[in-house]
Amino acid sequence: MLGDMVYLASQSPRRLALLRQLGLDPGVLDVEVLEERLNGEPALDYVNRVAREKAGAGLLKVLGAPEARVLAADTEVILDDAVFGKPLDAADAARMLRQLSGRVHTVVTVVWLLSAATEASARSVSEVRFAALSEAEIHDYLATDEWKGKAGGYAIQGRAATFIEHLSGSYSGVMGLPLFETARLLRNSGVTV
């Protein structure tokens, strides 16, 4: 039954698991949003726009439930203003990992919470320093398939954790849903977490 409920506009099992850590059991909405950066669009604006479009697409699916709240997020890896989204294939993931190797990059997650009456958003910005990676380490990591569907071609909650020399920011934000910011958004909209 649709009603005073939170919906997650994402098929991400990581985001669903993170929301469940907050004590929620959200409905899951499958939304399709084109994730393509516009010419000249600043990286942070791009992440914000995609997250907002995901939430908006989700809200359209539950218009019959005026009390429904739709939560959506977008996570991107940014290095030198280049946005590293989900790799197209293993070669693309290898390219990303080579570029991130031995460098500090930014991981931005923007979360939007929409309802028929309100909208609010939050942003998490984390700095991640990768160790220098050998070709063998990259090859072995790609063989795990863990990189599939992950911004920047890696999963902090998996084997790629061994690549990270330092993290300044939100671990859950790098995973795809910053729990502190998300909990605050939900509480401010009247959801108990």
Active site residues per annotation: 74
Six-digit token string for 63: 């218009």
Q: Which residues pair with 7 in a beta bridge?
A: 27, 70
Q: How many CB atoms lie within 10 A of CB 81?
A: 8
Six-digit token string for 155: 């999963």
Six-digit token string for 77: 């890896």
- Measured CA to CA, the distance from residue 26 to residue 155 in angstroms comes to 23
CB 186 within 8 A of CB 66: no
CB 101 within 8 A of CB 132: yes
Q: Who's near 18: CB < 8 A, 6+ residues apart?
A: 172, 175, 176, 177, 179, 182
User: In Å, what is the CA distance from 75 to each residue of 50, 79, 141, 154?
Assistant: 9, 13, 21, 12
